[in-house]
């Protein structure tokens, strides 16, 4: 049974790590939050004082962190994973970062005899808890094969996206689309509500047209339409993902015009102090600014 280290045990990382414990993998964890670490050690995980200690205790180290520079620092920085993980070990980065940073980290690890797999995830914290995430995997096939027992404990649908960094490229592509659709939904519903249309009527009509999408049918009824902006997919993380996508487009030689619009919306919300709230808060912000109610009358304020 592979010994696994897990760094970054937040909203998504904690249930993913718990599934590794349930699968019988000896688990060592590290996080800047002592409370987050305690939740896992109470279930049988061991704690480490540094990422280096995580690496030294593990065959495979999983990282699930907010920003590209966090991933690079934790893996390659002083007291980082690379200083502790033995040759033949593997790092699986499941964060949402850009493919260029991912490829740079992977190349440095390869010099040390350490493999790297990028496997960002799709779906929600509920799927993380049930071990049914979508995994978008990039890397060398032989390295991926070695860590399949670890990946299979966290996801039920795995897509091989190509070589190093291609899993991250796929995730950024996906999140750009998902977030811009969500922002467009809110804008369209706000226009309709300001004109006097009810949400019920707009949904009924849109179900029959090309305007229909999974954000309207699945995500928004679970959170936004219920008046719930408790952290799920936080605005600051959505903003980071869209920013990375817009920057990636520029590196590819073109402008992501729609993405830039979504980025501006998210950055505006963050400046208003909503970064820690779920993206549902974007709809509530529109309601407040326009003096309208998009949500059903029964939904809480």
Q: Please report the beta strands in the chain, taking only residues with DSSP state E, as ranges in sequence order.
A: 4-7, 27-30, 46-47, 60-63, 90-93, 115-118, 121-122, 133-138, 155-162
- What's the pLDDT tens digit per position in 186-198? 999 999 999 999 9
Tokens of 98: 């850009």
Read off the pLDDT of each residue in 10-19 and give the average, rounded to a whole number.
96
Residue 90 pLDDT: 98
Q: What is the dotted CATH code of the domain comprising 170-290?
A: 1.10.1040.10
Query: Distances in Å between the alpha carbon of 290 and those of 186, 214, 226, 263, 272?
Result: 12, 25, 19, 21, 16
pLDDT value, residue 104 = 98
pLDDT at residue 99 tops 70 = yes
Checking if the pLDDT of 301 tops 80, the result is no
**3-state secondary structure (DSSP) of residue 6:** strand
The catalytic position among 171, 223, 236, 240 is 171
Residue ranges of domains in the chain? 4-163, 170-290
Question: In which band, very low, low, confident or very high, does the pLDDT at 152 lie, cut at 50, 70 and 90?
Answer: very high
Q: How sure is the predictor about 300, in pLDDT bands with cuts at 50, 70 and 90?
A: low
pLDDT digit string, tens, across residues 275-288:
999 999 999 999 99
Identical fold at 4-163 and 170-290? no
pLDDT at res. 282:
97
171 is an active site residue:
yes
Query: How many residues make up the chain in this entry?
Result: 301
**Digit-coded pLDDT (tens) for 35-85:** 999 999 999 999 999 999 999 999 999 999 999 999 999 999 999 999 999
CATH number given to 4-163 = 3.40.50.720
pLDDT band at 146 (very low <50, low <70, confident <90, very high): very high
pTM summary value:
0.93
**Average pLDDT for residues 154-182, to the nearest whole number?**
98
Render the burial of 222-254: b for 16+ CB within 10 Å, e for the rest: ebbbebebebbbbbbbbbbbbbbbbbbbeeeee
Q: Report how far apart, in Å, the C-alpha atoms of 202 and of each of 55, 105, 187 are.
A: 52, 47, 13
């Amino acid at each position: 049974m592979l010994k696994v280290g897990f760094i970054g045990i937040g909203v998504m990382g904690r249930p993913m790590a718990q599934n590794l414990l349930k699968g019988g993998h000896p688990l060592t964890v590290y996080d800047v939050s002592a409370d987050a670490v305690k939740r896992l050690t109470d279930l049988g995980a061991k704690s480490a004082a540094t990422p280096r200690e995580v690496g030294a205790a593990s065959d495979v180290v999983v990282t699930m962190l907010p920003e590209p520079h966090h991933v690079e620092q934790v893996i390659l920085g002083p007291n980082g994973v690379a200083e502790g993980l033995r040759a033949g070990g593997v790092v699986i980065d499941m964060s949402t970062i850009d493919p260029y940073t991912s490829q740079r980290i992977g190349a440095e690890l390869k010099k040390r005899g350490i493999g790297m797999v990028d496997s960002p995830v799709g779906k929600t914290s509920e799927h993380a808890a049930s071990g049914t995430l979508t995994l978008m995997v990039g890397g060398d096939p032989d390295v991926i094969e070695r860590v399949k027992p670890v990946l299979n404990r966290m996801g039920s649908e795995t897509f091989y996206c190509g070589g190093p960094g291609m899993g991250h490229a796929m995730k950024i592509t996906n999140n750009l689309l998902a977030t811009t659709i969500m922002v467009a939904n809110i804008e369209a519903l706000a226009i309709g509500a300001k004109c006097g249309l009810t949400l019920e009527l707009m949904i009924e009509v849109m179900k029959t047209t090309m305007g229909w999408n999974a954000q309207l049918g699945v995500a928004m009824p679970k959170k936004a339409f219920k008046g719930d902006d408790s952290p799920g997919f936080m605005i600051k993380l959505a903003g980071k993902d869209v920013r990375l996508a817009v920057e990636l487009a520029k590196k590819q030689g073109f402008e992501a015009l729609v993405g830039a619009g979504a980025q501006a919306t998210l950055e505006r919300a963050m400046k208003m102090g909503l970064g820690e709230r779920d993206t549902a808060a974007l709809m509530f912000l529109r309601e407040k600014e326009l003096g309208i109610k998009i949500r059903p009358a029964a939904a809480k304020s």
